[in-house]
Structure 1
Amino acid sequence: MTSNLLYKELRLAAHPNLFIFALMGPLVLIPGYPYMMVFLFSLIGNFVNLMYTRETNDIYYTTLLPLKRSEVVLGKWLVLLVSQLVTILFSIPFAFLRLRLFSLPNPVGIEANVAFYGFGLMIFACFNFIFLTSYFQTVYKVGTSFLKGLFFATVLAVIVEVSVHFPMLTWLDTVTFAGQLKQLPILAAGVLIYVVAMWGAYKVSAKRFRQVNL
């Protein structure tokens, strides 16, 4: 059932911009660029996708299928999950390539290192919980839900980019092997927060969507 839901979402309901914004990993090759934008662009892609869902009445169509309300939520939840995993996995080769091409550090903010991905997962977690739980209260107010989630995600991204300029936090910006080993707890925390937030987002969204009168 899960694979069928995802297949339906990606082949029938997904907006092309979802895939475009999920493939912003090469941005880490730009010198002097705020690399947290890689994650923020992914959020925009998911916003456009759910806005397209509203315009095509896909939620209403999906509820007419032999599916539970919770499975309708699961389909959109899976698209969010898969697109964000693609964003991360697609960017990793370019992060390695950056280390080979550029010797100078990123003057704007954090490097594309282990801590970068840990914080990126936290940004995704923050946005997903707010965005999905707000969206499934009505399944129509996509813009309002997006702005709520984007605000907190952007604040977190700015904090991360600025924090590495403080002397006591410069270890977050290192790309050496030993330095990135030190950053592993941040990555682990990011994974844990992401898993918990996604589980919570699904449960709360499914509960709220059961009360929606389409």
Structure 2
Amino acid sequence: MFNLLYKEIRLAAHPNLFIFTCMGVLVLVPAYPYGIIFLFSGLGIYISFMYGRETNDIYYTALLPVRKRDTVKAKCLLVVLAELIQMLISLPFTFLRLAILSNGNPVGIEANVAFYGMGFFIYAVFNVIFLTVFFKTAYKAGKAFVLAMIPAIIIMTSMEVIVHFPNFYWLDSVKQPELLRQLPILIIGFLVYVAATIIAYHVSVNRFEKVDL
């Protein structure tokens, strides 16, 4: 499995995937809708899958002495790796932002605990739709991307807008009491992300097994 993942990173991953993975640094930009950062991850994943389609990566992998489910697993691991690294890259810049930009984010949600929790929800929705739709044919990456991005954009827009309502002020705070109040969002978001990605993997395997390459 490690060899397949290594092959995905070295051969199947488009350079844009690495660029969009680094977009976590955008939390340093003042007055910016930070939820877009998570959408950049989906865009990088889509470009990589399109790149793989054009280079016949799926067909090439199928010729290797590996099972079809291992092909799906390698792709899923690449997606998860890109998403989690994007979050990890953004963390130090989030702390730096709080140290040098203490006036909040007038555009939308602040980079805080709730922000990362909602990020996991966006990843979860994207993964479960994009991966399952793509592996139904192992070819139509564009269709999978459009269908996955619609709900992802809705969630992103909602989290940017909701903090402007007085009753949800605590979602935009970086003070300790509110950060603790946001913690369940992070925990639930992460659990949903794990569950959705596992479901996406199993459904994708079942669909890909029926694809005649």
TM-score (normalizing by structure 1):
0.98
In the alignment, which residue of structure 1 is the partner of 2:181? 182
Same amino acid, percent of matched pairs:
54
Moved beyond 4 Å, runs of 4+: none
1:110 aligns with 2:102: no
Q: Give, as a single letter, the amino acid of the residue that structure 1 aligns with 2:132.
A: T
In the alignment, which residue of structure 1 is the partner of 2:39? 40
CA distance in 1, matches of 2:206, 2:112: 37
Deviation sequence 1:146-175 (CA, Å, 0-9, x none): 000000100000000000001101100000
CA distance in 1, matches of 2:110, 2:117: 12
TM-score (normalizing by structure 2):
0.99
CA distance in 2, matches of 1:165, 1:46: 31
CA distance in 1, matches of 2:102, 2:124: 32
Q: Give, as a single letter, the amino acid of the residue that structure 2 aligns with 1:69.
A: K
- List aligned pairs for 1:41-190, cutoff 5 A: 41-190=40-189
In the alignment, which residue of structure 2 is the partner of 1:16? 15
CA distance in 2, matches of 1:41, 1:170: 26
What are structure 2's unaligned runs of at least 5 residues?
A: none
Give the match's secondary structure for 1:24.
Answer: helix
* Structure 1 residue 4: Cα displacement: 1.4
Deviation sequence 1:84-119 (CA, Å, 0-9, x none): 000000000000000011121101100000000000
RMSD of Structure 2 on Structure 1 (CA): 0.6
Deviation sequence 1:13-72 (CA, Å, 0-9, x none): 211001000000111111110000110101100000000000000000000101111001
In the alignment, which residue of structure 2 is the partner of 1:203? 202
1:4 aligns with 2:3: yes
CA distance in 2, matches of 1:54, 1:103: 45
CA distance in 1, matches of 2:189, 2:49: 25
CA distance in 1, matches of 2:114, 2:125: 17
In the alignment, which residue of structure 2 is the partner of 1:29? 28
* Structure 1 residue 139: Cα displacement: 1.1
Q: Give, as a single letter, the amino acid of the residue that structure 2 aligns with 1:63.
A: A
Q: Give, as a single letter, the amino acid of the residue that structure 2 aligns with 1:160.
A: M
CA distance in 2, matches of 1:119, 1:179: 15
Give the match's secondary structure for 1:107.
Answer: coil
Q: Give, as a single letter, the amino acid of the residue that structure 2 aligns with 1:59.
A: I
What are structure 1's unaligned runs of at least 5 residues?
A: none
The count of aligned residue pairs is 213
CA distance in 1, matches of 2:104, 2:135: 42
* Structure 1 residue 178: Cα displacement: 1.9
CA distance in 1, matches of 2:4, 2:107: 41
Give the match's secondary structure for 1:23.
Answer: helix
